[in-house]
Amino acid sequence: MRILLAIIAVSSLALQSCKQETTDTVEGIKYAGALRDIMSGKLDSNIALNELKEVPNLYALGAMAGLKGEIQIFNSQPYNSRVTPEFLELDKDFDANATLLVYAQVPEWQEFSIPKAILTLKQFDDYLEYTAVQAGIDTNQPFSFMIEGYVRKIDWHIVDWDENNTNHSRESHMKSGLNGVLVEEDVEILGFYSKDHKGIYTHHDANWHMHFNAKDRNLAGHLDDLLLGEYMTLKLPKQ
């Protein structure tokens, strides 16, 4: 009987250990929900951020359930933005649900100086793929990246959807909440790159999805367009 109890106890501890490891780690790029579902009017929650609260080195972006705000998580620190009558609020906790979320665990980054000639998103797209290949990343597989430094300009929006509106399109989502232009600001930008996830977590005309956090301002949200500044840094997952 004592031997049997010991086996049961060891098995229980092993199961708890496996459960803990699963909860606290993320393998590769994961996502919940899809842009194409959002475009068809499916705005319900697909994941609670609290499920990822204990994951270290977590990076994530997405849209809140009901399209009532934008989600940004940098190194396990949320900067989730919602539109308010006053302007917006930035929540730094995990008390939100996402209708779309793409996320990864990145313990360590490697840095690359972005050439001054790289200004537009089209130029950056080409530079990103080239640099990722040079860094040993398989660009046929999804990967995360970051951009840091002073940008010349960011066009941004924070979605605030009217639940009575059934006209779902990219343009209507962008116009539903706050829109703005950020000029000459120190930012951190998180992106996810994939050639094969259009309509899931990238739009049909891009291989990336990016959100930003303005370091010196109470502002974070979805990046619509970008004009890079000088001396910016690209960060890629260390292989």
Provide mean pLDDT across the span 175-187: 91
Q: Where are the domains of the chain?
A: 30-105, 109-237
Whole-model pTM: value is 0.87
Of 94, 83, 100, 109, which is closest to residue 40 (Cα–Cα)? Answer: 100
C-beta separation of 73 from 93 below 8 A: no
The architecture CATH gives domain 109-237 = 2-Layer Sandwich (3.30)
Mean pLDDT, rounded, for 4-28: 50
Rounded Cα distance, 165 and 200, in Å: 22
Lowest mean pLDDT among 21-30, 39-48, 134-143: 21-30
Would you say the CATH fold of 109-237 matches that of 30-105? Answer: yes
Element (H, E) at 97: strand 97-105
Residue 92 phi, psi (nearest 5): -110, 50
Q: Give the lowest-confidence range in 85-89, 125-129, 200-204, 232-236.
A: 85-89
- pLDDT for position 23: 55
For 102, the token pair is: 């793409």
Q: What CATH number is given for 30-105 in this structure?
A: 3.30.1330.80
SS3 206: coil
What is the reported pLDDT for 216?
83
pLDDT, residue 168, reads 72
* 22 pLDDT higher than 60: no
Q: Which pLDDT score is estimated for 4?
A: 40
CA distances from 58 to 4, 25, 129 (A): 40, 9, 23
Q: Angle 88-67-93 (CA atoms, 0-180°, nearest 5)?
A: 55
